[in-house]
Structure 1
Amino acid sequence: MEGPGPGAALSSSRRSMGSGRSWGSSISQSFRHQGLQPDTNDPFKRRHEDGGDDEENLRWAALEKLPTYDRMRRAIVLHEYAGDKGTGELVEIEHLASGEGGRALLEKVFQDDSERFLRSLRDRVDRVGIELPAIEVRYQDVSIEVDALVGSRALPTLWNFTTSFLQGLTGRLGSSNKKTINILRNVNGILKPSRMTLLLGPPSSGKSTLMRALTGKLDKRLKVSGNITYCGHTFSEFYPERTSAYVSQYDLHNAEMTVRETLDFSRRCLGVGARYDMLTELSRRERDAGIKPDPELDAYMKASAVQGQENNIITDLTLKVLGLDICADTMIGDEMIRGISGGQKKRVTTGEMLTGPARALFMDEISTGLDSSSTFQIVKYVKQLVHVMNETVMISLLQPPPETYNLFDDIILLSEGYIVYHGPRENILEFFESSGFRCPQRKGVADFLQEVTSKKDQKQYWYLEHEKYIFVSVREFAERFKSFHVGQLMLKELQIPFEKSKTHPAALTTKKYGLSRKESLKAVISREVLLMKRNAFIYIFKVSQLIILGIMAMTVFLRTNMPSGQISDSIKFSGALTFSLITILFNGLAELQQTIKMLPTFYKQRDFLFFPPWTFALANILLKIPISLMEAGVWVILTYYVMGFAPAAGR
């Protein structure tokens, strides 16, 4: 969803949030002044003088004496993690962040207990009084509509296409049969940090549109009204595409890349956000308070804050929590390439966004193709992430099983563009009972909520036997919710503006991309080189085909049969040139097919601000033009002189 201001105002407003000093330094300074002071009586901290191995204490003292830049790039770990890269137990983080050493370190700190692992990360941060960024998302009076063709005019026929094309040129040719369709109707709500929200609703109720609106990814052809804010800030003050992460219900990936390579690329492009600045301030506070953190946990946190690496320990963590470690080195595949299953592709789509630094997650139909057990495990991990790390999450599920439904804190029921209910999970059945509808004991609550607004299924849930049943429309439910105590409380909260001064400086992202221009270009080039290696057979086949056709052309247009004394002899040379052009043209069609195949993935990554679009174009120019010149050179070397063309360099 676009901000209300024009493009120039948008850019200047975003820049104003970081003016006067660098974004990183402002975050670091804010970390120093907010939160509690370190508690010197904390029983969990370990001081240098508290016993332990003297040699380890000496190493730690030597590490803390290093400058901040060097201290953040080194860690003390066991020899089994250091591999061949480390000297003793003091290793370079860049060498530890990827490879077998990093995976062994992750196994040690994770120990197949995600909640304990997240608690250990949070405890270390809380111990020195650092506050984690939190995002509150508000939407007030949001309505979305679109003018669309209906009936037979909406069918994809040649006549309809031609008519629409001509109408687009003239704007007056005949009736367009377009009608205004309301997708969302005056919806209101608050998504709070540390609470996980389930978005329920029948198909075509507007769930995906609501999520796209909240993440700033709406189609520009839609007509939008209302206000959407993050911590009181409008979309003109930051980049919602990077502040939040939207998990699409469509799985768009490069088929030739493995699962690990796909997640590594997304992790590299999305960057580390404010992790490095927070970790720098965390290390400074621990040093001032004499706290010695767990060496392995410290090494993990430093490894996760390394920017721009091809491989990262965060990728291994994402693979583990999503159950993708068993297929990490398997190609994703498509209709022509054998790869992972549909459910695993859905988890890869989820993992792409989990590798990034966004603290507001919007996940659209992530259970498609997954069994109930896998869905439960993923949602359970996300719940732990929300409650422990203070994140904001909305997940859309079509028919969640009861055990998955019970994991959520809040429920949004959306139907026909209206919000029927938005509030705590514990109060939703109370709301419908107040309207005369009760969920049967053996009926899943999620299934009941999907059907109670349907005209076909609503009557079976009416439980007031002494009163006659009358159909309650979705609009009536929405009006009744406003008078329900949960709805009244939410509307009162919306009337009180969010205090912008309370916004954590690391909560909202004002940088458009996670990497610099140079690093973005390097990342895209490295991916294109990888894809070219995977498609090496195509390039070898194209050159071999050129050689064979060149030999054939040499025999057909042999110079001994190519006289050049008369004007009429030019016909044979024209035929040779035409054959050469056609051969080179058709030889390049394979490249065109590959480019078209990559476009859906490119459009997704462009819209999600993975990298600037020009880096994709420049990377293909730098890598593909030399190949085209080589192919043309092979043809010229084989045929030019043999066909009898002029040997003079000037001609």
Structure 2
Amino acid sequence: MTVYLRTGSTRDALHANYLMGSLFFSIFKLLADGLPELTLTISRIAVFCKQKELYFYPAWAYAIPSAILKTPISFLEAFLWTLLTYYVIGYSPEFGRFIRQFLIFFALHLSCISMFRAIAATFRDFVLSTTIGTISVVLLSLFGGFIVRKPSMPAWLEWGFWLSPLSYAEIGLTANEFFAPRWRKPTSETELWGNKAFGALIGFTLFFNIVFALALTFLKCAFKPGVLTALMGVSGAGKTTLLDVLSGRKTRGDVKGQIQVGGYLKVQETFARVSGYCEQFDIHSPNLTVVESLIYSAWLRLPSTINSETKRAIVKEVLETIELEEIQDSIVGLPGISGLTTEQRKRLTIAVELVANPSIIFMDEPTTGLDARAAAIVMRAVKNIAETGRTVVCTIHQPGIDIFEAFDELILMKNGGKIIYYGPLGQHSSKVIEYFMSIPGVPKIKENTNPATWLLDITSKSSEDKLGVDLALMYTESTLFKENKMVIEQMRSKSLGTVGLISSTRYAQTGWEQFRACLWKQHLSYWRNPSYNLTRIIFMCLTSLLCGLLFWQKAKEMLILEHIFGSMYTVVLFSGINNCSTVLFCVATERNVFYRERFAGMYTSWAYSLAQVLVEIPYSLFQSILCVTIVYPMVGYHWSVYKVFWSLYTIFCSLLIFNYFGMLLVVVTPNIHVAFTLRSSFYSVVNLFAGYVMPKPSIPRWWIWMYYLSPTSWVLNGLLTSQYGDMEKEILAFGEKKKVSAFLEDYFGYRYESLALVAFVLIAFPILLASLFAFFVGKLNFQKK
């Protein structure tokens, strides 16, 4: 608001244009503030699907409260925005006009979030919904009446003006201001146009909510060494915590004590090389095949001394052991959406760890969420691993009898992390039953009862209180505990001639091999992700075509340089917005995989970051070539190698800037919803300080630093100055004749002599953002364990 401080106090054509710019920025901000509704709605679709399938309620019963609950938010946002900006900017001081502007903002925000909610319910996929949402933003903005005035639109495209909610907001707000007594004689048209605008926006809101309800109605819901030790206990006993501590993956809390391997203190970097950890939630790169996932893990985790043929043989052996041969060429996909089933994903999780040839494998509840058949398949794979001579430690919670008795030993814990039994399970659980039956008062296990269920019942807090014993204390006083202690002491004693488990290098592969592997994986992931890459390419084509049609041959006319600037502004801002929005989900998905792979000691954060940064370059370059190829001839820019190259270079840098900023947002925020919300604020800032809605010379001195920090200001500077900065032709601007170069300097603050600096800053932005992305990838970890 302070950028436009008291702009309305001066009444002339130039300041009227600034006021129009402030109104457009307010409209755009409220529009952009509705974008987070996309991710919120998509994240709730799964819950709605489940409840719909169980006949909890009809779609309209969900849609109506969704709309009603957002109304107070729209009311508050519109009121606060109007309250903070109206008199500061200097709009007409009548209180009635203040109320009318607030009501139009309120109705606009309601219609925008309703539109994004309808889009999310219709398309449901995050990337596709984001792309369609961004296309909607482009269409509404272009046909909103500010970037392209209605009289300047081709006659056969004027229908778009009347279908855009933003045009009604623009009409109502403009009439509210410029029909005021200080601009012209009093008239009743203000109230007439204000009522029309408000009514139209409420109509759009109702329409979008009906679409939302219909989309929900027709929504189809479908979701797709040689010892095996069980670590069991009630919920909250500390099973996963113990596993995380042993494997070295505990990231919070105060961990005390020592962990020894073969009598030597554990060195985590080396231990990660010889151990595997299968997380409860199966996290994989969705666009790789099963065999490619194993090849990638073997490439980075097996020592560099092992040649490629041997690594492939190991991969083949693991595929056979885990029984994945039949699906080895299947795409992994996203959980519950596409690709592998839950049981297949679980086996892939185990295989990815096994391919590293670990001596010990930790598994966190490998059968959770599986039916009896799927759990049996997974446990058969686990048993196969144990038979190869490896130590396998699994946490389990109330397993079936077949799964429970597949284990050799049992560690039983109670609340507080205290062990109440550690020893052999015995045939048909005979050993563990015999131990607890020796405790006075423990009820006998009934025939055909699952031993695991019986154990959890008799070791619960209520059973302990009823028996009047402390099972943990009884275990420490038992013969079994003394025997275990002797075994531990024997294992702790260092054998003659042995050394601690220490590797000469932290990683199995060199930095170059790590980078090659990461780039190979990213290349495959991007190539097989049309929902990300194809949609942004199609978006660029559609935006460029629309821009070319609306600004057809305007560059040759040169009657209104602002219109030409508008075409540049449209391409730069909205193509950047789409790239930034769609990259969020792609990077967020891979970040979870990165956490798992980094804990496994597969590569450095720099190898991963550099691969992620470089893989974006060819796609952004292709988008840039498409944009220039389409827009340049349609708008009628000047054909010369120098000017075409400048346009290509500037658009390319702009896309990289938005891509890398989106990637940076993901790594500095705990989840994609926060990143999405911050993204909307970023769009508002780069729009305000782009130099279009408020040119550089008119920005207050205390805000000019934001202009220089905004990448869009440098991009638009490069585009417009390279095209027209060397022209001496005279044009009519705000009632006076000026040379084009002089007008650029006076109105926009652009000088042709500064193009070298602009070129340097344009390439410095993506390099800086990419470096920050790499830095924070290595420093921040939002995975809490």
TM bucket (normalised to shorter chain) is 0.5 to 0.7
Q: Are the counterparts in 1 of residues 555 and 636 from structure 2 also a CA contact under 8 Å?
A: no
Q: So what's the TM-score if we normalise by structure 2?
A: 0.48
Match of 2:229 in 1: 197
Residues 361 and 497 of structure 1, relative CA distance in 2, 3 Å threshold: closer
Match of 1:578 in 2: 569
Q: Map Cα deviations across residues 488-546 of structure 1 (whole Å, 9 max, x no partner).
A: 22234555682345586696655322222222222111111211221246434433432
* Among candidates 235, 253, 256, match of residue 266 of structure 2: 235
Match of 1:225 in 2: 256
Which protein has greater RCO, CA pairs closer than 8 Å, 6+ apart? Answer: 1
Residues 256 and 550 of structure 1, relative CA distance in 2, 3 Å threshold: same
Match of 2:241 in 1: 209
* Among candidates 279, 282, 295, match of residue 251 of structure 1: 282
Q: Are the counterparts in 1 of residues 240 and 364 from structure 2 also a CA contact under 8 Å?
A: yes
Q: Map Cα deviations across residues 108-155 of structure 1 (whole Å, 9 max, x no partner).
A: xxxxxxxxxxxxxxxxxxxxxxxxxxxxxxxxxxxxxxxxxxxxxxxx
* Among candidates 533, 541, 552, match of residue 547 of structure 1: 541
* Among candidates 597, 611, 634, match of residue 619 of structure 1: 611
Match of 1:428 in 2: 432
Q: Are the counterparts in 1 of residues 259 and 265 from structure 2 also a CA contact under 8 Å?
A: yes
Matches within 5 A, 1:319-358: 319-334=319-334, 337-358=337-358
Report the 3-state secondary structure (helix = DSSP H, G, I; strand = E; otherwise coil) of the residue aligned with 2:351.
Answer: helix
Match of 2:446 in 1: 440
Q: Are the counterparts in 2 of residues 268 and 308 from structure 1 also a CA contact under 8 Å?
A: no
2:414 counterpart letter in structure 1:
S
Residues 377 and 591 of structure 1, relative CA distance in 2, 3 Å threshold: closer
Distance 1:518 1:408 in 2: 42
Q: Map Cα deviations across residues 424-454 of structure 1 (whole Å, 9 max, x no partner).
A: 2244333322322243343222222122112
Distance 1:358 1:504 in 2: 19
Residues 445 and 415 of structure 1, relative CA distance in 2, 3 Å threshold: same
Matches within 5 A, 1:39-188: none
Q: Are the counterparts in 1 of residues 241 and 250 from structure 2 also a CA contact under 8 Å?
A: yes
Distance 1:378 1:579 in 2: 53
* Among candidates 441, 466, 470, match of residue 466 of structure 2: 470
The structure that has the greater radius of gyration is 2
Report the 3-state secondary structure (helix = DSSP H, G, I; strand = E; otherwise coil) of the residue aligned with 2:285.
Answer: coil
Residues 388 and 257 of structure 1, relative CA distance in 2, 3 Å threshold: closer
Distance 2:398 2:495 in 1: 40
Alpha-carbon deviation of 1:486? 0.8
Matches within 5 A, 1:491-570: 491-494=485-488, 498-502=492-496, 509=503, 511-536=505-530, 538-560=532-554, 563-564=557-558, 569-570=560-561
Q: Are the counterparts in 2 of residues 332 and 340 from structure 1 also a CA contact under 8 Å?
A: yes
Distance 1:388 1:560 in 2: 74
Aligned length: 412
Matched, 1:410 2:409: yes
Report the 3-state secondary structure (helix = DSSP H, G, I; strand = E; otherwise coil) of the residue aligned with 1:224.
Answer: coil
Q: Are the counterparts in 1 of residues 543 and 571 from structure 2 also a CA contact under 8 Å?
A: no
Q: Map Cα deviations across residues 316-338 of structure 1 (whole Å, 9 max, x no partner).
A: 32222323223222222226853
Match of 1:301 in 2: none
1:471 counterpart letter in structure 2:
L
Match of 1:306 in 2: 307
1:258 counterpart letter in structure 2:
T
Alpha-carbon deviation of 1:396? 1.7
Report the 3-state secondary structure (helix = DSSP H, G, I; strand = E; otherwise coil) of the residue aligned with 1:412.
Answer: strand
1:240 counterpart letter in structure 2:
F
1:482 counterpart letter in structure 2:
T
Matched, 1:604 2:587: no
Residues 329 and 503 of structure 1, relative CA distance in 2, 3 Å threshold: farther
Q: Map Cα deviations across residues 10-39 of structure 1 (whole Å, 9 max, x no partner).
A: xxxxxxxxxxxxxxxxxxxxxxxxxxxxxx
Q: Please, what is the CA RMSD of the aligned residues?
A: 3.1
Distance 2:381 2:555 in 1: 76
Distance 2:588 2:331 in 1: 20
Residues 586 and 269 of structure 1, relative CA distance in 2, 3 Å threshold: same
Report the 3-state secondary structure (helix = DSSP H, G, I; strand = E; otherwise coil) of the residue aligned with 1:363.
Answer: strand
Structure 2 residues without counterparts, runs of 5 or longer: 1-72, 74-224, 644-721, 723-785
Residues 361 and 593 of structure 1, relative CA distance in 2, 3 Å threshold: closer
1:428 counterpart letter in structure 2:
V
Report the 3-state secondary structure (helix = DSSP H, G, I; strand = E; otherwise coil) of the residue aligned with 2:394.
Answer: strand
Distance 2:497 2:278 in 1: 25
Residues 411 and 593 of structure 1, relative CA distance in 2, 3 Å threshold: closer
Alpha-carbon deviation of 1:230? 1.1
Matched, 1:419 2:419: yes
Structure 1 residues without counterparts, runs of 5 or longer: 1-157, 159-192, 277-304, 460-468
Matched, 1:631 2:623: yes
Q: Are the counterparts in 2 of residues 584 and 632 from structure 1 also a CA contact under 8 Å?
A: no
Alpha-carbon deviation of 1:628? 1.1
The farther-off stretch of 193-202 and 345-354 is 193-202
Residues 633 and 206 of structure 1, relative CA distance in 2, 3 Å threshold: same
1:571 counterpart letter in structure 2:
E
Q: So what's the TM-score if we normalise by structure 1?
A: 0.57
Alpha-carbon deviation of 1:410? 2.0
2:307 counterpart letter in structure 1:
V
Distance 1:515 1:633 in 2: 37
Q: Map Cα deviations across residues 570-621 of structure 1 (whole Å, 9 max, x no partner).
A: 4223322211212321341323332223221222222222222222221122
Residues 407 and 237 of structure 1, relative CA distance in 2, 3 Å threshold: closer
Distance 2:562 2:238 in 1: 65
Alpha-carbon deviation of 1:415? 1.3
Alpha-carbon deviation of 1:349? 1.2
Report the 3-state secondary structure (helix = DSSP H, G, I; strand = E; otherwise coil) of the residue aligned with 1:227.
Answer: coil
Alpha-carbon deviation of 1:423? 1.8
2:472 counterpart letter in structure 1:
A
Give the structure with the higher percent strand. Answer: 1
Alpha-carbon deviation of 1:218? 0.4
1:329 counterpart letter in structure 2:
D
Report the 3-state secondary structure (helix = DSSP H, G, I; strand = E; otherwise coil) of the residue aligned with 1:581.
Answer: helix
Alpha-carbon deviation of 1:421? 1.0
Report the 3-state secondary structure (helix = DSSP H, G, I; strand = E; otherwise coil) of the residue aligned with 1:470.
Answer: helix
Q: Are the counterparts in 2 of residues 205 and 415 from structure 1 also a CA contact under 8 Å?
A: yes
Match of 2:700 in 1: none
Report the 3-state secondary structure (helix = DSSP H, G, I; strand = E; otherwise coil) of the residue aligned with 1:515.
Answer: coil
Residues 503 and 579 of structure 1, relative CA distance in 2, 3 Å threshold: farther
1:207 counterpart letter in structure 2:
K
1:557 counterpart letter in structure 2:
F
Match of 1:590 in 2: 582
Distance 1:413 1:580 in 2: 63
Give the structure with the higher percent helix. Answer: 2
